[in-house]
Amino acid sequence: MTTFDQSAFHAWLRANSPSNGPLSLTDEPVLLAQQALTLLAAYPDRPVVANGILSGCGAQSALRLDADYVHARPGNDAVAALQRSPVTGCSMLLTLAREKSGYDPSVPAQAGSLAMFFNYVNQILKCPLFSQVLNDHIAPTFSGDWNNTINQIIGYYVGIPDYDLSALRQSLVNVAAAASSNPSTNQTLNVFSQSTINVNADTRVYLYSTNVQMVTTVTSGGKHEPDRVSNQANLSLYRVQMRFDAAQWPAQAAAVYGETQQSLADWLAFGSTPSGSLPSDWHPR
């Protein structure tokens, strides 16, 4: 069993304190998978639309404990309530890292948004209260029927709840329809950057960043042959999964409370990009 490094955690907390200057991806170590840095180099100006959710069988209990913390008297009572609410603690660390990175989900198209999002992920990877479960990039290519292709893509999203998968599926259906109606033009979808706190036997954080390209090609079959239709989808999915060390949380709660009082409810409220008033319209690129 790995011994918890208290001094390393306090160093991380100082580095991510709102009272200190901003951090960037040039601050060592960089723990992102190399493919994430390649993606950043290829798409430096990509907007990052975010979706933050709480899931798992312990989600409702976590919200109740978070409400107890929110309604506790500031000071010792709040710290005591916070010690009993490890999922609130998990969200506080995510908030500190996000704010320190400069990434703002409410302004997805701000300059440098993708770099700031990856900086946010990197800061969490460096936090001693999280242990890395997965840090990879997959880029499979699919062909054939769009419905089967979409089902295969959905299968890569482990840890995402059903209602979010439904929204993801509909986004992919929309892009497939656009590809079919605009043959030989790439339809590109930056689906979203999904941040999930999943509370079951343990507490895990899932951070996914996705790009999908879909294209339908129609080849003339000649005078007496039907046209040939082929579909192809390219998925680029960067996945990070981390386990939160809830057992260590009570001993760290007071120090974190000294840096931020943001609750789990705050993380849920401010961790997603607000929906705009205009309908979605996927243009060929």
User: What is the residue-wise DSSP string for 48-61?
Assistant: --EEEEEESTTHHH
Average pLDDT score, the chain: 84
Say if CB 265 and CB 66 are below 8 A apart. Answer: yes
The tokens describing 111, both together, are 């300059």
Query: DSSP class of residue 133?
Result: E
| pTM of the full structure | 0.81
pLDDT value at residue 258: 97
Compute the distance between CA of residue 213 and CA of residue 193 in angstroms, rounded to an integer.
16
Q: Which residues of 1-35 are buried (b: 16+ CB within 10 A; e: fewer)?
A: eeeeeeeebeebbebbeeeeeebebeeeeeebbeb
Q: How confident is the model at residue 1 (pLDDT cuts 50, 70, 90)?
A: low
* Low-confidence winner among 119-123, 186-190, 246-250 (lowest mean pLDDT): 186-190
| 82-91 mean pLDDT | 98
Between 152 and 174, the higher pLDDT residue: 152
Q: How confident is the model at residue 250 (pLDDT cuts 50, 70, 90)?
A: very high
pLDDT digits (tens, 9 = 90+) for 103-124: 888 877 778 888 888 889 999 9
Between 61 and 47, the higher pLDDT residue: 61
Q: CA torsion angle for 95, 97, 98, 101 (degrees, to 10)?
A: 150
pLDDT value at residue 125: 94
Closest Cα partner for 123 from 251, 32, 194, 10? 32
β-partners of residue 54 are: 197
Q: Domain map of the chain by residue range?
A: 30-270
Between 104 and 278, the higher pLDDT residue: 104
- Helix (H, G, I), strand (E, B), or coil: what is residue 99? helix
CA atoms within 13 A on the CB side of 220: 3
Say if CB 55 and CB 222 are below 8 A apart. Answer: no
The residues, ordered by sequence, that sit 6+ positions from 187 with a Cβ below 8 Å of its Cβ are 175, 176, 178, 179, 213, 214, 215, 282, 284, 285
Which amino acid belongs to residue 157? Y
Does 285 score more than 50 pLDDT? no
**Cβ count near 260 (within 10 Å):** 18
What distances in angstroms separate CA 71 from CA 48, 164, 250, one per listed residue?
Answer: 33, 30, 18
Share of the chain above pLDDT 70, in %: 87
